[in-house]
Structure 1
Amino acid sequence: MKIVIIGAGEVGFHIAKALHQANDIIIIDQSEQACERADQLDVQVIQGNGADVSILNTVLDDADLLAAVTGSDEVNIVACMASKLLVKDSRHVNTVARVSNPDYIDKPIAERPQIGIDTMICPELTLASEVAEILAIPYAIGAEYFAEGKVEMMEFSIAEDNKLIGQNLQELNLANCCIVSAVFRDAQVIIPRGQDTIQENDHIVVIGKPAAMKEVRDMFGEKAGKHSDVMIIGGGIVGFYLAKLVSMGEFNLKIIEANKARSVQIAEELPDTLVLNGDGTDINLLKDEGVGDMDVVIAVTNSDEKNLLCALIAKHLGAKKVIARADRSDYVSLFEMVGIDSAVSPRQTTVNEVLKLTMDQGIETVTTIEGEKAEIVEYTASKKSKIVGKPLKKVKFPSGSIVSMVVHNGNTVVPRGDYVIEEGDRVVVFALQSANTKVEKLFK
């Protein structure tokens, strides 16, 4: 595909990084520094304004996709609108706009075809939704659904006090409709076998039928109390949207926001939530508000460094679980290295959505995990798929991949070697990046 990416910041760079090997990529950005970074990839780089019609005219010929992902909502919207007007047959150009202002979007992902935007993504709202999903689950650091909710993926972090340390995976006695798909250990990605042993700080990916995942959640950590105490530091777009989601559940919630006017606004819109105007790095304030007794503390200000400091202070004072927002991708692993239970990034949502638009027909969902080390992809098997009609043990699956789940006629199963995939089956595959291309060929 020919893909035009407007914005070479964190989002644009990582979209290009994920796609440049198999696609023709053009990146446009005004920043000289961002352009120099993008030059590290095998892509065409243009320094300039991505909403400039004269520049767009030179790059849109035969383009299949335009992803406008700068830090300016207006630039992204104008670029998409202009692209639709400039291309004679606009149906052949998919447009994606990254938008953060809640005046433009009120849900994580929306469609605005009437103004020339096929997909509008708000990474901040999606991030808040993802954090809300895993909020009350001890040791869970990621969650995702596939096959219209019939398959659930959860990623767990093994803390030093976890009772599973030292056990073999086969000793977990998971339900027949659940499977451990991967273990992330330091820099390693392990496709697990039954005799593999669980170690401290492992990140374990479990995929299964949602009804059975409740037992899995309890297995990987103590069951969360009915009323969990939650503190959110930062009342911006992420913090406010997250607070709205959390306030719908059975949580005792506190919000700390540094800006007084913003604090008043949040308090008016969430009258049943305690909103404190103060600095989240103020140790005395955190002590007075009982941060050490919190089940979860979430730092989601607009500063990565402040989020790290707030989370570390909360952890030091006794908070059971701390989550920190990290906009810079290279900070995610660093945050977790120094003691943050989960570092979450709004960047990944936009990357995932763009990846889906570049995939072949038959791919329903794609989720990257552990900083793009691997992907979980949902395929729909067609009549022509090479994987159809033969036992899995006779399919030459590439090293670094595993069929985790299959949904057949509405039933969710963990396939064994004798399982035969049929046309129309929805197949959830875990794969390292190196194996993705070969896996895709099996479904063509």
Structure 2
Amino acid sequence: MNIVIAGAGKVGEVLCRDLASENHNIMLIEPNESRLDQFINLYDISGIHGNGAMFDIQTEAGVDTCDVFIAVTRNDETNLIAAITARKLGAKFTVARVRDPEYSKQMSFLRESLGITLIINPELEAAQEIARTLIFPSALQVESFVHGRVNMIEVVLQKNTAPVDVKLKDHKGRFGDVVICIVIRDDRVMIPDGETILRAGDHVMVTGSPGEVRSFSKLCQPDLDKINSAVIIGGGKLTDYLLARLVKMRMKLKVIEIDTENADRLAIKYPQTEIIFGDGTKQSFLNEEHFSDYDAVIPLTGVDEENILIAIYAYRSGVKKTITKVNRTDLLKILDNVGLQSIITPQRLIANHIIRFIRSIENSQGSNVSAFYRLLDGRVEVLQFKVKGNCCEVNIPLIDLKTKPGLLIACIVRDGKIIYPHGAIQILPEDDVIVVTTKHKNFQDIDDIFEKNRGQ
């Protein structure tokens, strides 16, 4: 695909690297000439020096014939103008990053009236991710599918807990409609079958109804129960979006913010939340605020190192759950085994969202793949198929169907209802089927996941 990207910030860098590695033709527009040259030398891309919102620059970049135009500069208005201009020039799909909370209130209006295909907000994405993680406190990460209606969570199995040392086929009925989709053991990723035995220390990704997934996660880590209270360090845009969600969850909340103007703004906007003016990076101040009495601590300052140190201190002070915002992805390589739990990277979230969007376009052209995701650094793929009436395997119980190795049917969506599969369930026309696989096999249709010549 021909893709034009305006903006060479952190999101632009992830997009250039990942999309170029997948053999897309990337044209980068960037006003900082040294930054542009750096990206051209690092990645297999072309570039143009200039303002990505300008008509003549976009024309020179070939926006009129591109498949996707992505505006991820630091300025919301520049991104909106750039996306509108690209749409008028003839770009098939346009994407704009917009961060201002005021704009977030009218996302649908902006998309429909301005003709922008996708408007995405990193802080809003991160807030949604944090809220999902608090709903499943044992989860290291939560992935959402089918417009947020299907969740897949990653948990670590502890010693002497119910799921450990038992074959999966013997789990049936013990945990309700929970489907264990992925097992990560010693950095090896597996799609399990009935003979798989779970071990202590395994990372497993499971899906199912929210209540039963929550019950399963409690069994895996009994010490992490429901989160009823949280301390947030930092009062920026992300905190603003997050409070709007956590207030609805009726949690006891405290925000510590060092800027008086931000603290006053949040206090007026969220009167039911305790807003404290002070330096949340100081251990003595945190102790004065009895931060260890809260179930969760969420450092959201603008400095990664401060967030990491706060989270480690909270963990060692006995706080049950920490969620840490880290923007510099190079730091993640050295963060193992230091007491950090869930890590949120807004730039990575938004880049992944855009990449999933592009892959969905690419994989849905000429196929029945309606959605496409990659997890665990691309080692696992999740595909959503729309089942047509001519599918060879409809109206047959799943127990009688033989799928290709290395994949699993995670769930079926039928008339808006989520069905978690068992042997008697049948796939019907117009179903949406969610399939998890460890290897990309270029599936174009639901029929592709089944072994051919069944019964012969």
* Range class of TM-score, shorter chain: 0.7 to 0.9
Q: Which moved more, 1:34-43 or 1:291-300?
A: 34-43
Whether the 8 Å contact between 1:322 and 1:342 is mirrored in structure 2 is yes
Q: How does 1:349-428 map to 2 (within 5 A)?
A: 349-357=350-358, 358=361, 359-360=363-364, 362-383=368-389, 397=404, 400-410=406-416, 412-415=418-421, 421-428=427-434
Letter in 2 for 1:311: A
Cα–Cα, structure 1 residues 211 and 317, in superposed 2: closer, same or farther, change >3 Å? Answer: closer
Partner residue, 1:23? 24
Q: How does 1:150-169 map to 2 (within 5 A)?
A: 151-158=150-157, 164=163, 166=165, 168-169=167-168
1:122 and 2:121 aligned? yes
Cα–Cα, structure 1 residues 424 and 18, in superposed 2: closer, same or farther, change >3 Å? Answer: farther
* Distance in 2 of aligned mates of 1:190 and 1:319: 32
Match of 1:81 among 52, 77, 84: 84
Partner residue, 2:216? 216
Letter in 2 for 1:406: I
Partner residue, 1:50? 52
* Distance in 2 of aligned mates of 1:215 and 1:107: 37
Secondary structure of the 1:54 match is helix
Secondary structure of the 1:424 match is coil
| Runs of 5+ consecutive residues of structure 1 not aligned to the other structure | none
Shift of 1:97: 0.4
Q: Which moved more, 1:189-198 or 1:2-11?
A: 189-198
Q: Which moved more, 1:95-104 or 1:371-380?
A: 371-380
Shift of 1:405: 1.5
Deviations 1:124-163 (A, max 9, x none): 0121122112214331133344345653322223467966
Secondary structure of the 2:323 match is strand
Shift of 1:337: 4.1
Q: Which moved more, 1:294-303 or 1:18-27?
A: 18-27
Letter in 2 for 1:56: Q
Q: Which moved more, 1:407-416 or 1:278-287?
A: 407-416
Secondary structure of the 2:314 match is helix
* Distance in 1 of aligned mates of 2:283 and 2:350: 33
Whether the 8 Å contact between 2:158 and 2:221 is mirrored in structure 1 is no
Letter in 1 for 2:437: A
Whether the 8 Å contact between 2:180 and 2:192 is mirrored in structure 1 is yes
Cα–Cα, structure 1 residues 297 and 206, in superposed 2: closer, same or farther, change >3 Å? Answer: same
Secondary structure of the 1:28 match is strand
Deviations 1:164-201 (A, max 9, x none): 55555455445463211112345322222344444455
Whether the 8 Å contact between 1:158 and 1:200 is mirrored in structure 2 is yes
Q: TM-score, normalised to structure 2's length?
A: 0.83
Letter in 2 for 1:360: S
Whether the 8 Å contact between 1:109 and 1:119 is mirrored in structure 2 is no
Cα–Cα, structure 1 residues 271 and 420, in superposed 2: closer, same or farther, change >3 Å? Answer: closer
Partner residue, 1:69? 72
| Runs of 5+ consecutive residues of structure 2 not aligned to the other structure | 449-456
Partner residue, 2:286? 286
* Distance in 2 of aligned mates of 1:402 and 1:233: 40
1:256 and 2:256 aligned? yes
Partner residue, 1:190? 190
* Distance in 1 of aligned mates of 2:283 and 2:186: 32
* Distance in 1 of aligned mates of 2:102 and 2:406: 43
Deviations 1:283-306 (A, max 9, x none): 111112222222111111222222
Q: Which moved more, 1:256-265 or 1:370-379?
A: 370-379
1:142 and 2:145 aligned? no
Shift of 1:218: 3.2
Letter in 1 for 2:241: Y
* Distance in 2 of aligned mates of 1:439 and 1:252: 47
Cα–Cα, structure 1 residues 186 and 386, in superposed 2: closer, same or farther, change >3 Å? Answer: farther
Secondary structure of the 2:249 match is coil
Shift of 1:410: 5.0
1:438 and 2:442 aligned? yes
Secondary structure of the 2:65 match is coil
Shift of 1:260: 1.6
Identical counterparts, % of pairs: 29
Q: Which moved more, 1:193-202 or 1:48-57?
A: 193-202
Whether the 8 Å contact between 2:280 and 2:286 is mirrored in structure 1 is yes
Q: Which moved more, 1:101-110 or 1:230-239?
A: 101-110
Partner residue, 1:246? 246
Whether the 8 Å contact between 2:184 and 2:203 is mirrored in structure 1 is yes
Partner residue, 1:5? 5
1:228 and 2:228 aligned? yes
Deviations 1:29-66 (A, max 9, x none): 34434653454443333344322332210221321211
Whether the 8 Å contact between 2:156 and 2:221 is mirrored in structure 1 is no
Whether the 8 Å contact between 2:30 and 2:51 is mirrored in structure 1 is yes
Secondary structure of the 1:439 match is coil
Deviations 1:338-361 (A, max 9, x none): 221110122323432452242415
Whether the 8 Å contact between 1:121 and 1:350 is mirrored in structure 2 is no
* Distance in 2 of aligned mates of 1:71 and 1:366: 28
* Distance in 2 of aligned mates of 1:110 and 1:431: 37
Whether the 8 Å contact between 2:356 and 2:374 is mirrored in structure 1 is no
Deviations 1:357-396 (A, max 9, x none): 4241544444443344433332212346677688877666
Shift of 1:102: 1.7
Cα–Cα, structure 1 residues 401 and 62, in superposed 2: closer, same or farther, change >3 Å? Answer: farther
Shift of 1:117: 2.4
Letter in 2 for 1:285: F
Q: Which moved more, 1:378-387 or 1:62-71?
A: 378-387
Q: TM-score, normalised to structure 1's length?
A: 0.85
Secondary structure of the 1:70 match is coil
Secondary structure of the 1:139 match is coil
Shift of 1:104: 2.2
Cα–Cα, structure 1 residues 45 and 342, in superposed 2: closer, same or farther, change >3 Å? Answer: same
Secondary structure of the 2:128 match is helix
Cα–Cα, structure 1 residues 132 and 258, in superposed 2: closer, same or farther, change >3 Å? Answer: same
Partner residue, 1:300? 300
